[in-house]
Amino acid sequence: MLTLFFVTDLPTQVGQIYEFDNEDANHALRVLRMSAGDIFKLSDGNGAWSEVRVFAVKKKSLEVEVLTSGVEEALPTTITVVQALPKSDRAKEAIELLTEAGVDRIIPWQAARSIGKASEKFSITAREASKQSRRLRIPEVTEIATTSQICEAIKVSDLTVVFHESAQSKLSDVITSHNVSNLLIIIGPEGGITNDELEQFAQAGAKIALMGRPILRSAHAGIAAVAAISAILKVW
């Protein structure tokens, strides 16, 4: 699979000559040692892409020629994950895993038992993880949200699933329809979602489900949830 880089001014015309000179270009030059004849892929991070070939190597940039281009259409189900904030290192890991799982939007949540803080670097983490996983659409990482804001998001979703160890229903039991355009998944903090938060979510329309028997770390639960629901909804 071709190496992927992101640019803001994606060249899309076949035969077009483009100077690749951003930070990713520096990585391609210094780390990957790209040379004339090498082929890789550029994307705008919103689904559009171009396959390009290097024909000239400069000190701080690469001159490339566009070989072909296209657009990857979005999937019919938009997946948003509300992630309660774990400690900084775990938060970065959560963003990476959710990006690799293919989510469209990540909402950091300041839950009552959250011990982490939001970081401006979350968007950078999502961008880098998108390159690593070769995905052409970089997920949006929003500003930190409150519990009341999460409740408003629940009300406009087609399906919201909250995972909690006290749930009596399995995930496969709470999903009764495959017609879901706007999916919202809520992952609590290491200390757990409080009873008050859980009640607010349920009143807003969320379904409470059990994620198997083992209790996963907060940073790891999101990718497991996305995988399970994507399979049930036939997104995967």
Pairwise CA distance, residues 22 & 127, whole Å: 14
Pairwise CA distance, residues 142 & 182, whole Å: 16
pLDDT digits (tens, 9 = 90+) for 22-75: 999 999 999 999 999 999 999 999 999 999 999 999 988 999 999 999 999 999
Q: Which CATH class is domain 4-71?
A: mainly beta
Q: pLDDT value at position 118? A: 65
CATH number of 78-232: 3.40.1280.10
Phi, then psi, of 140 in degrees rounded to 5: -80, 130
Torsion region of 33: left, alpha or beta (phi above 0 gives left; psi -120 to 50 gives alpha): left
Q: pLDDT value at position 99? A: 97
pLDDT digits (tens, 9 = 90+) for 169-215: 888 888 887 789 999 999 998 888 999 999 999 999 999 998 877 77
Residue with tokens 């309660």: 84
pTM: 0.91
Phi, then psi, of 10 in degrees rounded to 5: -60, 125
pLDDT mean over 18-25: 94
pLDDT mean over 130-153: 95
Residue percentage of the chain with pLDDT more than 90: 73
The highest-confidence range among 53-67, 80-94, 102-116, by mean pLDDT, is: 53-67
pLDDT mean over 123-129: 94
C-alpha distances in Å from residue 87, one per residue of 59, 74, 81, 117, 172: 40, 32, 18, 7, 31
Q: pLDDT value at position 116? A: 66
Mean pLDDT of the chain: 92
Sequence ranges of the domains in the chain: 4-71, 78-232
